[in-house]
Structure 1
Amino acid sequence: MSLGHALRRIVEEYPLARTDPPAGHPLAHVIRKGAPDELRRALAPLDGPFLVKGSPGRGSHWAAVPWLAMFDPAVTTSATRGYYLVYLFPAHREAVHLSLAQGTVAAIREHGARAGEHLRASGVRLRQRLSDFSDALPVTAITLGTSGELPEGYEAAHILGVTYDLDALADERRLHADLATGIAAYRALKAWGGLDLPVLR
């Protein structure tokens, strides 16, 4: 299995998989184990360390939006806070987003109903700092096709990235190149001071 094949399996199989319980489901295993293993292999030449996790949901419930994320442990070890690079799988179309994203749950806890507004404003500011990556990671807004606090938070938390349709997932070379660019942007954001950036004048 390649990275592209793992991503494609999640895109194609997730809608049907959600009609069965996640416990012991083969696709849940792919998201938790198979896809993270492929992502670790793809990250190996990029001089980590990176913590890689995949989530199909919690307990007996599938996630509205499954994800496959990579974390710099010096920044965060969780999708709830800080910032990280993540593959997000929209519910409404056969596609996957590679997103440099801000932690959503921490923003919701701190800002409540204004979390989306805060995250979007922060994203605008961060994109200014990461303007060198705007051509290679041109997608500045994503849609996930489902309502709810977390999916809408993920949309608001997006900074920049790439969106792939199913055909694009066959291009393993492009996936690896974009992953390297995403990691470079992640590291650049860390070098700039992360989310605690001064307002540009």
Structure 2
Amino acid sequence: MSLGHALRRIVEGYPLARLDPPAGHPLAHVIRRGAPDELRRALDPLGGPFLVKGSPGRGTHWAAVPWLAVFDPAVTTSATRGFYLVYLFPAHREAVHLSLAQGTVAAIREHGAQAGRHLRASGDRLRARLSDFADKLPVTEIGLGSVGELPEGYEAAHILGLSYDLDALGDERRLRTDLATGIAAYRALKARGGLDLTEA
């Protein structure tokens, strides 16, 4: 299995998988184990250290938006806070987004109903900080096709990235090149002050 194949399995399989309980489901295993293993292999040439996690949801519930994330432990080890690189799988179409994103749950806890507005405003300022990546990671807005605090938070938390349809997932070389670019942007944001906008 390649990274592209792992991503494609999630894109194609998730709508049907959600009709069954996640416990013991083969696709839940792909998201938690198989896809993270492929992503770790793709990250190996880029140095580290990176923590890779995949989430199909929690307990007896599938996530509205499953994800596969790369965390720099010096920044964060969780999708709830800090910033990280993540593949997000929208519910409404066969696609996947590669997103440099801000932690959503921490923003919701701190800003409540204004979290989306806060995340979008800080995303605008962070994009300015990463203007040298604008051509290579040109997608500045993503849609995830789900209503709810977390999916809408993920949309608002997006800084920059790329989107792929199913055909694009067959180009492993492109996926790995784009991943390297995403990691470079992640490292650049860390070196340029991260989410601290006091100097921006």
TM-score, scaled to structure 2: 0.99
Aligned residues: 200
What is the Cα-based RMSD across aligned positions, in Å? 0.6
Partner of 2:189: 189
Partner of 1:53: 53
Partner of 1:44: 44
Partner of 1:34: 34
Amino acid at match of 1:144: L
**Partner Cα distance (1:164, 1:46) in 2:** 22
SS of 1:93's equivalent in the other structure is coil
Conservation of the 8 A alpha-carbon contact between 1:87 and 1:97: yes
Q: Which ranges of structure 2 fall in alignment gaps of 5 or more residues?
A: none
Partner of 1:113: 113
Amino acid at match of 1:196: D
Identity within the alignment, %: 87
**Partner Cα distance (1:78, 1:29) in 2:** 19
Q: Which ranges of structure 1 fall in alignment gaps of 5 or more residues?
A: none
Partner of 2:97: 97
Partner of 1:172: 172
SS of 1:52's equivalent in the other structure is strand
SS of 2:69's equivalent in the other structure is strand
SS of 1:188's equivalent in the other structure is helix
**Partner Cα distance (1:100, 1:177) in 2:** 15
Conservation of the 8 A alpha-carbon contact between 1:125 and 1:199: no
SS of 2:164's equivalent in the other structure is strand
1:49-84 alpha-carbon deviations (Å, 9 max, x no partner): 000000000000000000000000000000000000
